[in-house]
Chains A and B, each alone.
Chain A
Amino acid sequence: MSFAVVAFVLAAPVVKMGAGSGVVISDGLLLTTARVARDSPRPEALLEDGGTLALLQTVEIGEGLALVAFEGRGAPAELEGGTVDAGTALRVLTAGSSWEAVVIGASGAVLELSIPDAGAVEGGALLDETGRLWGVVRDGRSAVTSVAARDAIEALVNPQKKAASARWRNLGISAAFFLGLSVWWVYRSKRRRY
């Protein structure tokens, strides 16, 4: 492990949770997979320096991820807003280990990864060489993008915004549906007339 990586691991936002890891994304909130959060035997997460975070509450946010509220101090990582192209080399960081990873495909909220000799990577952070967080590893082959995770958290924290956008979308669908019905009815009536 190079010096840069060692230094990075020491300042990592990653915590140990049961059989997997979690990524601290802000004061009091960490992101992990729903399975790791569910199967965590104790309501606490271990920091790199041996300290602990008391886990308070878990909310599943979709795409197999869960948001966990905690009490204590962690070093948060910021969720990146951009996209990652296929072929980009990244690093998977878990509590205590690190793996090379290559993005082999991206479809919507999910990044397909190739992680040679992947161990217990679930809930690990997907970082680039400058330490920017691009996603949270879901299993040995995929990760959920930071953008999707941020959107899911946004919808959770601000449900009215989500509801408002859903309303506009549904109104649009309803308008298209009733327009289609009307066109069909008129066409049918005219066809019968002739």
Chain B
Amino acid sequence: MSQLRQWLNPRTTAAKMAVVFCIVSVVHYAAFAWTKDVLPLVADRVTHEFTLWMLVTYTVLFHKDPLSFIFGVLILVSIGGALERHWGAKRLWLFGFGITIAAGIVTVGLSLVFPLIGMLPYVGANAIVSSMWVAYGLLMGRGQTNFWGLPVTGNTLALIGAAFVLLSGLLGSWLAVIPELVGLGLTFVHVRLGFPQDALQRFGSWRLQRDLNKRSSHLRVISGDQRNTPRDSDKYLH
């Protein structure tokens, strides 16, 4: 398999995800009159009219902008594919949709405090794209990777991804990039804590360690030259 084909493998789950996002987004914008009240996330409608499905449907929509489509697909296929090799397909799904649905829930929560957020329609595929980008960079850490040919460290790549979102907020409107910003925050937390199963496993391990420490608190370490002195009891010896 050539290097390019390995990097842009169309058989990965990430590539399938990109195709689904493209199809649904194109259908959405082609039939905008019918779908505008159904698919994008409008926080006010979620809280007042209980349109809970929007928290999921908004995740598959790109912004109405050709560049957003093209770069979204490229990043999903390339970086999503790399993450898939690292995590596996199931975890990639859980990460992409989990982060974006959680970002949608936080956006709905924020709309209760800032009513203006409640009126805006949000699309979330770009939040998945930026989250994957930053997650990949953070996972690479100080390791070398490349940003369209330029050799950069993973952390720098993550910084570039975050800068894109911040720049969109700065040049456009902060309100328009709320899910992306929340997604970035959640991605950072996720990379630090891992998947919920891992975090639970670590918690279990910590509890076990604590129990073992408690059980051994009455024991004391005896150095070699103090063994079997006349003061020692031999009642536990068998």
Contact = CB atoms under 8 A, between A and B. Distances in A.
Nearest to B52: A174
A178 B49 contact: no
8 contacts: A163-B48, A167-B48, A170-B49, A170-B52, A171-B52, A177-B52, A178-B53, A178-B56
Nearest to A189: B90
Contacts of B34: none
Contacts of B90: 189
How would you classify the secondary structure of chain A's contact residues: helix, strand, loop or mixed? helix
B53 A166 contact: no
A182 to B, nearest CB: 12
A178 B48 contact: no
A75 interface: no
A174 B49 contact: no
A163 B47 CA distance: 12
Interface string A135-175: 00000000000000000000000000001001100110110
Interface in B3-59: 48-53, 56
A181 interface: yes
Interface residues of A, number: 11
A163 B44 CA distance: 13
Nearest to A166: B49
A177 B39 CA distance: 12
- Determine the interface band of chain B, counting residues with CB < 8 A from chain A: under 10
Interface of A: 163, 166-167, 170-171, 173-174, 177-178, 181, 189
Given A167-B48, A173-B53, 20 more contacts: A163-B48, A163-B49, A166-B49, A167-B49, A167-B50, A170-B49, A170-B50, A170-B51, A171-B50, A173-B51, A174-B51, A174-B52, A174-B53, A177-B52, A177-B53, A177-B56, A178-B52, A178-B53, A181-B56, A189-B90
A164 to B, nearest CB: 10
Nearest to B38: A173
B93 to A, nearest CB: 9
Contacts of A171: 50, 52
A174 B52 CA distance: 6
Interface string B87-102: 0001000000000000
Interface in B47-90: 48-53, 56, 90
Contacts of A174: 50-53
A11 B16 CA distance: 69
A166 B51 CA distance: 9
Contacts of A181: 56
Interface string B160-181: 0000000000000000000000
A189 B52 CA distance: 24
A181 B48 CA distance: 23
Contacts of A178: 52-53, 56
Contacts of B48: 163, 167
A171 B53 CA distance: 9
A2 B53 CA distance: 59
Contacts of A173: 51, 53
Nearest to A176: B53
B54 to A, nearest CB: 9
Contacts of B53: 173-174, 177-178
Most buried by B among A170, A171, A177: A170
Closest 10 CB pairs of A and B: A174-B52, A177-B53, A170-B50, A171-B50, A167-B50, A170-B51, A174-B53, A170-B49, A166-B49, A167-B49
Nearest to A185: B93
A96 to B, nearest CB: 39
A175 to B, nearest CB: 9
B201 to A, nearest CB: 20
